[in-house]
Amino acid sequence: MLPVSPSVALRIIFWAVSALLIAGQSTRPEQAQQQKPSPAASATPTPDLRIDRPTSEPYTGALSIFEDPKRAEKLQIDRVMDLLGIRAGSSVADIGAGSGWFSVRAAQRVGPAGTVYAVDINDEYINHIKSRAEKEGFSNIRAVLGKEDDPVLAAGSVDSILVLKTYHEFSKPINMLLAMRKAMRKGALLGIIDKNGEGDDHGLDADKVIEEAERAGLVLVSQHDFVKPDNMDYFLIFRKTDAP
């Protein structure tokens, strides 16, 4: 073998290294393309939860409107709680709690072993409920600041839910129903009391409510009209199906 001079050896090493670098550059983009998943393959389909109907603006007025002395009699609120299975030790959610009118009555029914989640999206109303619960001695009321599409309740945390004169204000009703469904324990019931209307007139037809509830995996158990004396047209009771 002929001896190779140091300069020639260095040139051979340089050519070899350059060739390897060029080869590596030419293959890396192909490898990256193979390893990176396409957007279509990695994206998770999002259900279309939009609705094509108007809704009413949430009430922000004086809370005294909820405190009519004859309201409990007109709504037959004890009968409402009976039908929703609210009893001592129950865990109840009052969605759109406002002044806490129903929350207080539910808290009396469930007693110290039960819990009432008073949910509202209005900060002032939540503060009012907290103050009221403390003043009236209801340590079993938990005031919860909810969202327009989520009552912010833990999964499987409630036995009964009541949406009293609030459903027509839900701007994202399917999302809200799905979130409430998730919070319902096995056998839990959801009650909706409202009046017939077009959505933007502080009411929504019962048939529309039932249709939207079915989309969220809820089935109608019973329908009542004994709440009419309080200018409400219907009381709907739902339970959740096995799957939404």
pLDDT, tens digit (0-9, with 9 covering 90-100), for 44-55: 444 556 676 888
Residue 230 has which token pair?
A: 């309080």
Neighbours of 10 (CB within 10 A): 11
Fold of 70-240: Rossmann fold (3.40.50)
Going by C-alpha positions, the residue among 182, 235, 237, 244 that lies closest to residue 215 is 244
Region of poorest pLDDT, from 19-28, 134-143, 172-181: 19-28
What percent of the chain is predicted at pLDDT more than 90? 68
Neighbours of 167 (CB within 10 A): 25
Place of tokens 């900060």: 123
* Amino acid making up residue 42: S
At 74-109, the pLDDT tens digits run 999 999 999 999 999 999 999 999 999 999 999 999
| pTM (predicted TM-score) | 0.79
Contacts of 234 (CB under 8 A, 6+ apart): 192, 193, 194, 195, 196, 206, 223, 224, 225, 227
Sheet holding 234-240, edge to edge: 141-145, 115-120, 91-95, 158-164, 184-194, 234-240, 218-224
CA angle 198, 216, 89 (to 5 degrees): 100
d(CA 86, CA 222): 16
d(CA 101, CA 64): 10
